[in-house]
């Protein structure tokens, strides 16, 4: 385990915890198995199936971020990350296996960081559909609140262009 990188992830995240360890180890496994490095732009994409602590480690280690558009949240609540190399098309899904054994917080973190990777994680090569690269959209000013929003987030309501905050969803209870 790269102790220096772990310490930097902890500093970035704010504290050490088993959740951070989950993403840290998954990102390390992806780097080793896929031969990938820090993504300067969108060379590497990560689809995270959770919005928990481990996502911070994935961001720090891989360079996959919401802002660059190469970190995609598919919130199933599973401790799973799919890493995709845009150049090769290779995809690797890494899922934390469920453990029934009772462990303290410290024991769990140590197990995640240092246990045999095939015992701790389900690791499988997958054919992943690549998301579209991040796009820039024209800003439209909402005719209700006068705040700008990207055109793909604007809705028509009673003939006015409105943002998602001002849009009143029509539903009949279905």
CA proximity to 54, closest of 86, 95, 89, 84: 95
Question: Residues 77-130: pLDDT tens digits?
Answer: 999 999 999 989 999 999 999 988 899 999 999 999 999 999 999 999 999 777
Which residues on adjacent β-strands are paired with residue 125?
A: 92
Query: What pTM was estimated for this model as a whole?
Result: 0.81
Domains of the chain: residue spans and CATH:
3-126 (3.30.1330.130), 136-174 (3.30.60)
To 10 degrees, the CA torsion angle through 18, 20, 26, 28? Answer: -120
For residue 174, the model assigns a pLDDT of 61
For residue 170, the model assigns a pLDDT of 81
């Amino acid at each position: 385990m790269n102790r220096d990188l772990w310490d930097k992830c902890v500093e970035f995240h704010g504290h050490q915890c088993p959740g951070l360890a989950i993403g840290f180890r998954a990102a390390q496994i992806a780097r080793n198995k896929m031969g990938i490095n820090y993504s300067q732009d969108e060379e590497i994409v990560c689809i995270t199936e959770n919005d928990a602590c481990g996502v911070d480690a994935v961001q720090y280690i891989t360079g996959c971020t919401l802002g660059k558009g190469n970190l995609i949240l598919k919130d199933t609540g599973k401790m799973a990350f799919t890493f995709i190399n845009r150049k090769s098309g290779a995809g690797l899904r890494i899922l934390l296996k469920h453990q029934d054994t009772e462990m303290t917080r410290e024991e769990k973190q140590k197990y995640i960081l240092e246990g045999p990777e095939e015992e701790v994680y389900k690791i499988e090569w997958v054919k992943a559909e690549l998301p579209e690269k991040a796009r820039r959209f024209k800003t439209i000013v909402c005719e209700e609140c006068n705040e700008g929003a990207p055109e793909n987030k604007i809705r028509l309501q009673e003939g006015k262009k409105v943002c998602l905050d001002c849009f009143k969803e029509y539903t009949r209870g279905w």
